[in-house]
Every structure is written in C-alpha cells, then in structure tokens.
C-alpha cells in the first residue's frame, strides 16, 4: 500500500496539467500513487495523462464525466485510491519541492491522525506578492496531534481540500465524500472536521496554488452560487445533529456566513436571484444562529445584523455605497500629531469618569439643538454630572458663561473624550474617537428625514461623493448605544439609513420640548430680541441646503415677495446652518436670523413657516401654526437628493410652485384657511408623535440616570398637548 494517493482532477486544464503532474512525479519522496481524473478517454487531458501513464507505473488514469463536476472527479479518484493518506491537487496547481517528504515526516511524528492540515501559497498569475491564507489558521494550533475542539477556529470550511492530507480509512469509515459540485470544498472541509477525532498541522507550504488570470471559477456569475447555501445548510445541520459545543459552533457559523456575505455582496456573482439568495441566507442564519452569538465588529457586523433582520434593500445599498466610497478621505478631525495620539492613548488607559458627560452639536457649532436641551434638563435632574461641550474656536464667544467647554482638537478635547462615561451628539464624533467598554453613546439626530440619509444616500452620486466613506460612516454608527427619534417615520428611516446594534429611543426630540412649554411671555421676549415690530405677522423663511448647488442662493426674491404680500408681514430669513457665517442679508422687512443660536427661538417668534424641503417643517408643526411649502424645484431635488416620501402628496399645508403662487397664498389668506388646517392636522398626526414637552426628561432619566424603561414618563397624546401661543391672531386676511 503506497503512503499517499494523490487525486488530480483535470477538467479544462489540459494546457497546465503537465506542470502539476511533473511537480508530483519529481518529488524526492516516491511512495505514492498518482490518480489523474479525466473527462473521457478521448479528452485532451486524457491524451496528456496517457503519456505519463506509459512512462510511470505510479500513474493510474481514471475518468469522470464533466457533468459530475469537480466533486464527482474527486469522488471517482477517492474510490479507486489505495494509499494510506489521500491528497487532492487541482490540475493547475503544483506540489512544492520536498512537500511529500515533509508530509511523511510530520505524519510519522504525530502518529495516526485523521487529517493533517498544511499551508498553501496563492501565487498571482502575473505579478504581485504570494499570500499564505492558511498560516493564520494554523499558527495557534497545538504542536502535536490534537482534537478539533482544542483549535475551534480550525473548522475546515475556510481551507480548500488541497490544503490537507486525509487518512483514507477515516474517510471510508465515516462515508465522507465531496458533496454537490460548486463550493464542494466548503461542505467537505466542514464535514471532515466535524467527524475527525485527531488532527495535526504542518506549518509549512506544501501546495502552490496558481491564481488564474480570469479568477476563480466561483467568481463567475450564475445560479451555481446558490450551492454555497446548500453546503452551509449541510454543515450546520450536521453540526446540530452532532450537538457541537458552543465554542466550536460559533467559529463554524461565523466562517460559513462570512463566505455567504461575500457572495451576497459580490457585484458579479449573482446577476439574477440575488434577493432570493439573500432571503434564503437570512432564514438559514436565523435557524442556525448559536445561542448568545455576538456578531463581529465593524462593517461585517453590520452585514450580519442586516442578514439576521432580512433587510435586503439596506444590505444592497450598504455594499454599493462602500464600494463607491472606498478610499475617500475622512471628513472629521483625527488626532494626527504624535503627541496628541500618545496623550489620547494614555488617557484611554485611565478609568472612565462615571460623572462626565461630553456634548457636541453640529460638529462643534456651539450650545444648540438636542444636546443643549438634554444638558439643561440634566442640570435639573442630575446635578452631580459634569458636562463639557465640544466647540470650534469660532464658537467659543457664543457659549453661555456657565457652560464648560473644550475646543475641538485641544488637549482637553481628547482628554474628556477618552474619559467620559456619556457622549451625546446630534451628528457624529471624530473617526478617531474610541468606543470604550462601559461608555454610553447617545445619537440625538437633528431632524426628521425627508431627504435620504446615511447608507440610503449611496444611490445618489452627488450626495454620495460629498458623504465620503460609507464604511467609516457605519463604523461611527457602530459606536452608538442609543438613537433618538421623534416619530415612527424617523424610527423606520433611521433603521434603514444607519443599520446597527443600537437601541432606538422613541422619546421625542428634547429641543422641541419648548414648543409645548413656552409661554406667551417667552414668545414676546424672543420677538423683541429678533427685532420683530409690534403688530406685524412674522413669516419664517427657512430653505434647505442643495447638495448640487454651490453656496447659499435663495430661490425666492424676498424683496419682491414682501412687496407683493403687503406691509402687515415681515420675513425672518434663516438660511441652512451651513451658511451661518455669511453677511447679513436684506433689511427693513427682511430680518436675517441665520446666525441666531437657537432655531427653536426663531420658530417661536414666527406666526407661520415658509420652507421648501427643510426638516424644520417637522419641528415647527409641533406649534400647530401654518406652514407653506415653496417647491419650485421639487422634481430636481427629488431626483438628485432622494426623498423618503412624496411631500407634494402629504404636505403640512398649502404648496406653491412659483413666486406668484406663493404671494397669492398670503394675499388671499389661503395659508391659514380650513384646507391648510386640515393638511397640517394630518401632518401632525404622522410626524409629531413623540414631541410632547417631556423628551429631555425621558432621555436624562433613561440614558444618564439609568432608570428602567417602565419608569420613564409616557408620551402625552397629541390631542392633549397645548402648543406655545402665537403672537399674532391667525385669521383670514
């Protein structure tokens, strides 16, 4: 009986088959039989093999029809093998010199093992450095023979069949053959490791795998990729029948679904049936997920969660976005200097400060939005907490004198970020910020999404280009523990746009509390601060940013608009916060409030809102005051920016498409008539669900004080809320 039987399938490799056979026959260790498996006696490969068989008695040709595939060819060779151990070599790969001698020596040293795993080298077809993907898997294995349970990450599914030598009697006794056709190595390798009792490793390269220019056949498009799910199901079913221990089942599950996710995300492998593939994979994932299994971190972990949830649309968008955004530069600050990195690293080794809360709003623009509202309520309910706001240098002057701050990029900035127990932001912290175990990250958001956000932006080229790396974006999402929403629409859209493991808090936006708590005196005070003349109706004009435009340019001539609607009105102009550094615009009846710190104050002062597609409409609706949508470029915006719903079908009030229509709405009183009121009521039902004036309290109690969900104050029904009063009586002009 020869020491080794070497099975070499040869379908489609007649031109390269001689180098494979030569590499075997030239081995210094000669106790083997060589079994080339050809398609048919008259095939091109059979002609090549016939010459070798005439010259060397160790060559025993066999035949297997092409329809049987790679698995059939290997099984044919296995059935005819008589050697003590079996090796499988593809017809376009080679054994490195001395490989058989090394395998023989290792087997002699470790004894009668079922499987001897060894390393292999993947060599590029043209140029580039060879890779050794088996080395990391074998590096941590015990030195002698061992049971597979002692190396749980050595599952067999991540190694090709030609990266091991198998005891033939073991394969025969366990009735182990190659299943299926495509992805047969996955099924065979997994079943072998499940049944093996004693294995060993040779930490040396025995096979040189020569990469094809056209790539692996498994990368070609076609329906055959569904067989990966067949093999995955086969292996996991056998593992369940065998009651595989959890420490082995976890790595096996993870490695199998790493391959599944690679195939699901590959742009070419599944030209059709990708959704069906994903759905079946999702069902298998849920069926076989080990109890207590924790997905890996980073983008792969997000893919695991999307697969578990069956979120195919989000998965497709995420993968497409990451491919387009690969290599994009980070947009947020990083600790670049060596000293800064060292100081930050040192601070990360210190204990968390259990009473430190770090806040940031709009990438450091100052004391504003939900973070400011949460901070104010925390002073009341949790006075023991120290709060530090992160601000850009130019925002320091506008900070309230009794609020501690740290300038972004400073020593203090990185120190408090490293030590804080709680981190609260309405955007995102810098990429370099580390999510420490035990820290709590709260994402408050800063609006209700009409336009596409997060991963959903990927299919809109202009927006995707400005967003940067979606992989980095989702890495930032992975740091979140909680995400705040103000309505059920936001809950659903944020889950699509920012898939992650965080908990959603349907508590409302704290910045909107004031719309239910402000008094008539508060409204009068704000109007006086802004310079609104007594007796005038104030119309807030708040257009949104256009990603496809450069700079701020109002689509409305405000001077002409004021002239057209009469002198009983003044206009409060609030450009998007991207443009709050610009010079004052307008004068007289046009009051520029872009630079005012609080958008909530500006809304309180306004008797009505004019906007296009800004999320301010959702916040302002809490005041139950008229809203007019000026949609002069809706079709362009919807096409280039992307939206979650058709605003023209469910507007918060009257809609105007031209300056003339807009002026007419105010001249004839349509802005506040019964039709507008009915539209606003329906809009409020849909988008003002959780903003009842107690959002900040709920957030502080749950996140900063750690109170259980059942103790959090419930949301007051919309019909029972009393919005802050408007200054002017809203009657038909």
Strand-strand pairing, 115-123 and 94-95? unpaired
- Rounded-to-integer distance, Cα 363 and Cα 296, Å: 29
Per-residue DSSP letter, 440: E
- Rounded-to-integer distance, Cα 435 and Cα 141, Å: 32
The pTM for the full model equals 0.57
- Rounded-to-integer distance, Cα 692 and Cα 674, Å: 25
Phi, psi angles (nearest 5°) of residue 345: -60, -40
- Rounded-to-integer distance, Cα 392 and Cα 17, Å: 66
Q: 296 Cβ partners below 8 Å, 6+ apart?
A: 254, 304
| pLDDT tens digits, 116-175 | 999 999 887 555 678 898 999 999 899 999 999 999 999 999 999 999 999 999 999 999
- Rounded-to-integer distance, Cα 365 and Cα 347, Å: 25
Strand-strand pairing, 85-88 and 164-167? antiparallel
Structure token pair of residue 500: 């992650």
Q: 612 Cβ partners below 8 Å, 6+ apart?
A: 543, 544, 555, 629, 630, 631, 632, 633, 637
Nearest residue to 79 (alpha-carbon basis) of 168, 4, 206, 148: 168
- Rounded-to-integer distance, Cα 649 and Cα 101, Å: 77
- Rounded-to-integer distance, Cα 148 and Cα 388, Å: 52
DSSP E strand boundaries for 520-664: 537-542, 569-573, 590-592, 608-611, 627-630, 655-656
Contact 663, 564 (CB under 8 A): yes
Q: In the prediction, which pLDDT does 128 show?
A: 62
Structure token pair of residue 83: 């050697």
DSSP output for 188-254: HHHHHHHH-S-EEEEEEEEEEEE--TT--GGGS-SGGGHHHHHHHHHHHHHHHHTT--HHHHHHHHH
Task: Give the H/E segment covering residue 33.
Answer: strand 32-38
- Rounded-to-integer distance, Cα 166 and Cα 154, Å: 15
Q: Any idea which residue has 């949508």 for tokens?
A: 629
3-state DSSP assignment of residue 550: coil
Alpha-helical segments (H) within 385-504: 411-419, 461-467, 470-477, 488-497
In angstroms, how far is CA 247 from the centroid of its own chain?
Answer: 27
- Rounded-to-integer distance, Cα 232 and Cα 157, Å: 9
Per-residue DSSP letter, 711: G
Contact 210, 92 (CB under 8 A): yes
Q: HSE on the CB side for 318, CA within 13 Å?
A: 30
Which residues in 466-476 are b (16+ Cβ under 10 Å) and which e?
Answer: ebbbbbbbbbb
Q: 98 Cβ partners below 8 Å, 6+ apart?
A: 27, 28, 29
First to last CA, the chain: 105
Express the helix, strand and coil content of the chain in percent, nearest 5 each: 45, 15, 40
3-state DSSP assignment of residue 608: strand
Q: In the prediction, which pLDDT does 717 show?
A: 95
DSSP output for 673-729: SHHHHHHHHHHHHHH-SS-SS-HHHHHIIIIIS---GGGSPPPPPGGG--PPPPSS-
- Rounded-to-integer distance, Cα 391 and Cα 367, Å: 8
In angstroms, how far is CA 235 from the centroid of its own chain?
Answer: 28
Contact 562, 571 (CB under 8 A): yes
Length of the chain: 733
Q: Any idea which residue has 């005041």 for tokens?
A: 623
Low-confidence ranges of the chain (pLDDT < 50): 213-214, 325-333, 577-586, 729-733
Contact 475, 391 (CB under 8 A): no
Q: In the prediction, which pLDDT does 14 show?
A: 72
Contact 641, 460 (CB under 8 A): yes
Structure token pair of residue 372: 């400011």
Nearest residue to 178 (alpha-carbon basis) of 197, 159, 192: 192
Structure token pair of residue 59: 């060559």
**Helices (runs of H) and strands (runs of E) counted in the chain:** 27, 21
Q: HSE on the CB side for 684, CA within 13 Å?
A: 22
Write the secondary structure of 105-172 as one string of H (helix), E (strand) and C (coil): HHHHHHCCCCEEEEEEEEECCCCCCCECCCHHHHHCCCCCCECHHHCCCCCCCCCCHHHEEEEHHHHH
Q: In the prediction, which pLDDT does 610 show?
A: 96
Q: In the prediction, which pLDDT does 240 show?
A: 95
Q: In the prediction, which pLDDT does 732 show?
A: 37
Contact 595, 580 (CB under 8 A): yes
Q: In the prediction, which pLDDT does 251 show?
A: 94
- Rounded-to-integer distance, Cα 559 and Cα 565, Å: 10
3-state DSSP assignment of residue 55: helix
User: What is the Cα gyration radius of the chain?
Assistant: 34
């Amino acid at each position: 009986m020869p020491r080794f039987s070497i099975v070499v399938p040869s379908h489609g490799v007649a031109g390269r088959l001689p180098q494979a056979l030569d590499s075997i026959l030239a081995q210094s260790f000669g106790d083997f039989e060589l079994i080339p498996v050809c398609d048919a006696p008259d095939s091109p490969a059979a002609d090549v093999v016939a010459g070798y068989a005439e010259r060397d008695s160790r060559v025993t040709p066999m035949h297997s029809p092409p329809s049987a595939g790679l698995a059939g060819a290997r099984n044919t060779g296995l059935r005819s093998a008589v050697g003590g151990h079996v090796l499988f070599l593809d017809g376009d790969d080679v054994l490195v010199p001395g490989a058989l001698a090394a395998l023989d020596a290792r087997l002699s040293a470790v004894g009668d093992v079922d499987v001897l795993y060894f390393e292999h080298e993947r060599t590029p077809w043209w140029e580039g450095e060879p890779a050794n993907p088996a080395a990391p898997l074998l590096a941590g294995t015990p030195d002698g023979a061992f049971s597979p349970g002692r190396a749980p990450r050595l599952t067999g599914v991540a190694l090709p069949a030609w990266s091991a030598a198998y005891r033939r009697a073991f394969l025969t006794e366990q009735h182990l053959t190659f299943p299926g056709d495509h992805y047969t190595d996955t099924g065979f390798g997994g079943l072998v490791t499940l049944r093996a009792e004693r294995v060993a490793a040779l930490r040396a390269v025995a096979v040189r795998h020569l990469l094809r220019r056209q790539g692996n056949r498994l990368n070609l498009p076609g329906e055959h990729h569904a067989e990966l799910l067949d093999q995955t199901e086969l292996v996991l079913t056998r593992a369940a029948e065998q009651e595989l221990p959890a420490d082995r089942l976890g790595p096996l599950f993870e490695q199998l679904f790493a391959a599944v996710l690679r195939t699901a995300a590959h742009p070419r492998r599944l030209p059709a049936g990708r959704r069906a593939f994903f759905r079946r994979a999702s069902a298998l994932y849920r069926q076989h997920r080990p109890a207590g299994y924790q997905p890996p971190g980073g983008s792969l972990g997000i893919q695991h969660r999307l697969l578990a949830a069956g979120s195919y649309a989000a998965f497709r968008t995420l993968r497409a976005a990451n491919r387009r955004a690969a290599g994009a530069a980070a947009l947020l600050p990083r600790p670049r200097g060596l000293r800064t990195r060292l100081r930050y690293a040192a601070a990360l080794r210190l204990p968390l400060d259990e009473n430190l809360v770090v806040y940031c709003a709009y990438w450091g623009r100052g004391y504003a939005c939900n973070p400011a509202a949460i901070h104010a309520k925390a002073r009341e309910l949790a006075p023991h907490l120290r709060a530090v706001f992160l601000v850009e240098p130019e925002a320091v002057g506008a900070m309230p004198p009794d609020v501690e701050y740290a300038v972004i990029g400073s020593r203090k900035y990185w120190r408090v970020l490293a030590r804080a127990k709680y981190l609260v932001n309405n955007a995102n912290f810098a990429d370099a910020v580390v999510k420490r175990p035990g820290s709590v990250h709260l994402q408050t958001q800063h609006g209700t999404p009409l336009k596409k956000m997060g991963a959903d932006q990927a299919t809109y080229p202009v927006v995707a280009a400005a967003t940067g790396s979606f992989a980095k974006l989702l890495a930032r999402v992975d740091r979140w523990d909680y995400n705040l929403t103000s309505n059920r629409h936001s809950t659903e859209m944020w889950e699509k746009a920012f898939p992650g493991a965080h908990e959603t808090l349907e508590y409302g936006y704290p910045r909107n509390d004031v719309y239910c708590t402000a008094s008539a005196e508060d409204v009068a005070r704000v109007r006086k601060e802004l310079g609104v003349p007594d007796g005038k109706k104030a119309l807030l004009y708040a257009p949104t940013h256009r990603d496809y435009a450069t700079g701020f340019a109002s689509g409305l001539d405000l001077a002409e608009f004021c002239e057209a609607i009469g002198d009983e009105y003044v206009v409060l102009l609030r450009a998007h916060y991207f443009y709050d550094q610009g010079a004052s615009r307008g004068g007289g009846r046009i009051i520029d409030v872009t630079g005012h710190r609080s958008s909530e104050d500006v809304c309180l002062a306004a008797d009505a809102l004019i906007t296009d597609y800004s999320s301010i409409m959702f916040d302002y609706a809490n005041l139950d005051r008229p809203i007019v949508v000026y949609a002069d470029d809706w079709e362009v915006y919807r096409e280039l920016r992307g939206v979650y719903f058709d605003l023209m079908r469910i507007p918060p009030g009257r809609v105007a498409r031209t300056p003339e229509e807009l002026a007419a709405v105010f001249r004839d009183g349509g802005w506040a008539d019964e039709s507008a009121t009915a539209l606003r009521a329906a809009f409020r039902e849909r988008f003002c669900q959780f903003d009842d004036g107690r959002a900040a309290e709920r957030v502080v109690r749950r996140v900063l004080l750690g109170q259980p969900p059942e103790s959090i104050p419930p949301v007051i029904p919309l019909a029972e809320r009393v919005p802050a009063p408007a200054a002017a009586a809203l009657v038909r002009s």
